[in-house]
Amino acid sequence: MTSLRVSADGRALVWTGNGENLRVEAWGPDSVRVRAAMQRDITDEPDLSALLPLDTVDAGATGSSAAASDADGATTVMAAQTGDVRAEVHAGQDGEAVGTLRNGAIVVQARESAPWIAAGYQDFRCRLSFTKADGTPLLKETDFGGSLNLHARHYEAIEGGPHAITASFLSPADEHLYGMGEYQQSIMDLKGSTFELADRNSQASVPFVVSSAGYGFLWNNPAVGRATFAANRTEWVARSSRQLDYWVTAGDTPAQIERNYACATGHAPIMPDWALGFWQCKLRYWNQDQVLEVARRFKKEDIPVSVLVIDFFHWPHMGDFRFEKEFWPDPKKMCDELHELGIRVMVSVWPQIALDSENYAQMRQKGLLVRSESGLDIGMMFEGPSQFYDTTNPEARAYVWEKCRQNYADLGVDAFWLDEAEPEYGVADFSHYRYHAGPALSCANVYPREYNRGFYEGQEQIGRSGQIVNLTRCAWAGSQRYGALVWSGDVGSTFADLRHQITIAVHMGMAGIPWFTTDMGGFHDGRVDEDGFRELFIRWAQFETFLPVMRNHGDRSARQPDGGLKEKITAADGSRRLPSGAPNEPWSMGPAVEKVLRKFIDIRESMRPYLRELFDQAHTDGQPLVRGLFYEFPDDARTADIADEFLFGPDLLVAPVTQAGAGAREVYLPGGQSTTWTDLRDGAVYRGGSVVSLAAPIDTLPVLARQGRDHGLAGRL
């Protein structure tokens, strides 16, 4: 007798065999969720899932089961209808059960079999395949391969623990793939690539991928692992997990797929108007007077600035979560003056709790810290030994937010920079740590999302809804719903790094994270007194003008008369404090750089209406701001792997200059002859489907408007 059946609520197919429990369930528009577990019941595990609860996603109403007969004579064992969802199980002609789940544009077929294997017994199996409603194949689990005796869902035992799980699929050989978050490379089409599913400084694993074949796939599992998109199979691996969990959606366009994904995992909030302009930061403003001096100069020079950012080690010890009084004697007065100047204040927060912190003993006693499985209980040694607080623990999130509310928000700080969000262990041995949610191997990738969650929910509680922006160095699926503005981490100051940021911006948007930025000019040791870095900085600033947030930051160096590279700082008692990098303001690199940066800050200001439009699309419809050319032109085959230009929203094509010394570049213009592109610098009009060579002197870059929709930028570039 078949063990494949329709669930009692009529929205799922359920199967049991060989100790494995499988549930395939309608979960959001045109989408299904697949869960399976070995020798255990399937659970919701909401804190380890990227998906919103089913009642929030609104997958349909409860139906009822009934017996029926098909027109072709096959017996329908069970069938149920719940709105657009229909689930049924047939007895196939070969006697094996076949189940079908239809949810709008997606159809899943589950085929049960019981082959005899060489061990001498029957091996009960259930293989899944996914198609569009019109029968177009999307992907399917690999088959057992006859004598190969393979399992598409493979569970490898871990001594004393759960399983290492591998899910294997066959997908269209000619598909193109986009998403997966942030990986430092210049590859646009991810087909043929492999990815570590783990977070590092400048790597954010967001395991959602969109296929040109018409589907989106979310690996709904925060375990450390691997994803491989090979020619012969796609494999997703979790090194340690209690159950298999993934989500598949179908759509005719990337926009439809992103819309479904936002419905299932959450929409980005409203981006506040104050965040749309230019952000100023450096490593690091080391006291209150320096911050105010910089702010006053911005106003004196009449340079628009929206946000001033106060970087790390403004505190006595990591984990104190407060200003050090010697250097910041009156933070409230400072914030008040900045607000009078029309500037918002953001402060850096790190999740490390130093052993010397005033909060360490209490947090350790309460179990609010990540814990080492053996040996010294230390996560990092930067500026002294520390351990990270456990963001998967609700009590730890509440404790840290309360400190930050009292010592920052109540004093006028407007926003938080959640640095070290991976978290950045001194040694990335994920088997060495344990969280409230479980071993790090099984849940580490959820850490940055829960970090953002604590600060988002805390700010909601004090009435800041609609005003929350968390600048963060890492993300996981669902982070977008907690106001996560992800930046690409501590990248190098080279043209190669600049090229990487273009593809990263596209892939972050495709992974459902629409808010993205970078360190303008790169982070590591750009020399402000060298012509090569000044050229790079200008080209990076031009690129960043067309990102969701335009933000200047970096660890700047300069040759100084005493031979030093950075400002040396000591406290009143003579003890050392972290040094401050070279100046990093618009006027810091000479009048030529300042002139170009002023120009692009003004361009940014002029784009506010268009930015508002794009951010609202992200909020209401899940659409990315930065888009690969393929996004708006999926039928143009040449757009599939173009990695050095992008669309900012639907209308502006941006072609950054990413080669040192270049004064021109070639630009591909997508679309057919009916599509026109207008160069916003000289008004020249070109037809789609062509490659043009465009001048790009140091004070400009090619930006072209689709169908003449220039959004007020004509002549400004």
Residue with tokens 């064992």: 77
* Three-state secondary-structure class, residue 11: coil
User: 325 — phi, psi (to 5°)?
Assistant: -60, -35
Is residue 185 classed exposed, middle or buried when 0-12, 13-18 and 19+ CB atoms within 10 A define those classes? middle
Alpha carbons 240 and 163: distance in angstroms, whole number: 5
> Could you tell me which residues come within 8 angstroms of residue 429 by beta carbon, excluding any fewer than 6 positions away?
none
Judging by DSSP bridges, how do beta strands 550-552 and 278-280 pair with one another? parallel
Would you say 258 and 512 are in contact if contact means Cβ atoms under 8 Å apart? yes
**Per-residue CA distances from 77 to 6, 25, 86, 106 (Å):** 9, 18, 14, 22
Would you say 37 and 20 are in contact if contact means Cβ atoms under 8 Å apart? yes
Mean pLDDT by 10 residues, the chain (717 residues): 87 95 97 97 94 78 36 53 86 84 97 86 93 97 90 91 95 97 98 98 98 98 98 97 98 98 98 98 96 98 98 97 98 98 98 98 98 95 97 98 98 98 95 96 98 98 98 98 98 98 98 98 94 98 98 88 67 92 94 98 98 98 98 97 98 98 98 96 97 98 97 96
User: 281 — phi, psi (to 5°)?
Assistant: -155, 160
Alpha carbons 587 and 575: distance in angstroms, whole number: 32
**Hey, which residues does 168 pair with through a beta bridge?**
235
Name the strand (E) or helix (H) holding 397.
helix 394-407
**Hey, which residues does 164 pair with through a beta bridge?**
156
Confidence (pLDDT) at 683:
97
Alpha carbons 445 and 543: distance in angstroms, whole number: 29
Which residue numbers are catalytic? 419, 422, 490
> Could you tell me which residues come within 8 angstroms of residue 215 by beta carbon, excluding any fewer than 6 positions away?
106, 130, 138, 139, 248, 249, 250, 251, 257
Alpha carbons 367 and 565: distance in angstroms, whole number: 41
* Three-state secondary-structure class, residue 570: strand
**Spatial CA neighbour of 309 closest among 324, 326, 290:** 290
Both tokens of 498, joined, read 């600049």
* Three-state secondary-structure class, residue 387: strand
Helix then strand count (H, E) for the chain reads 13, 45
Is residue 418 classed exposed, middle or buried when 0-12, 13-18 and 19+ CB atoms within 10 A define those classes? buried
* Three-state secondary-structure class, residue 448: helix
Both tokens of 235, joined, read 């494999």
Alpha carbons 449 and 482: distance in angstroms, whole number: 8
Would you say 615 and 274 are in contact if contact means Cβ atoms under 8 Å apart? no
Alpha carbons 310 and 360: distance in angstroms, whole number: 23
Would you say 15 and 110 are in contact if contact means Cβ atoms under 8 Å apart? yes
Both tokens of 544, joined, read 């960043």
Alpha carbons 126 and 151: distance in angstroms, whole number: 10
Question: How many Cβ atoms from other residues are within 10 Å of residue 640's Cβ?
Answer: 20
Alpha-carbon Rg for the chain in angstroms: 27
> Could you tell me which residues come within 8 angstroms of residue 194 by beta carbon, excluding any fewer than 6 positions away?
226, 227, 228, 229, 230
Alpha carbons 474 and 408: distance in angstroms, whole number: 22
Domains delineated in the chain? 5-265 (2.60.40.1760), 273-621 (3.20.20.80), 628-706 (2.60.40.1180)
Alpha carbons 694 and 670: distance in angstroms, whole number: 15
Cis peptide preceding 423, ω within 30 of 0: yes
**Hey, which residues does 10 pair with through a beta bridge?**
none
Alpha carbons 376 and 378: distance in angstroms, whole number: 6
Alpha carbons 486 and 392: distance in angstroms, whole number: 19
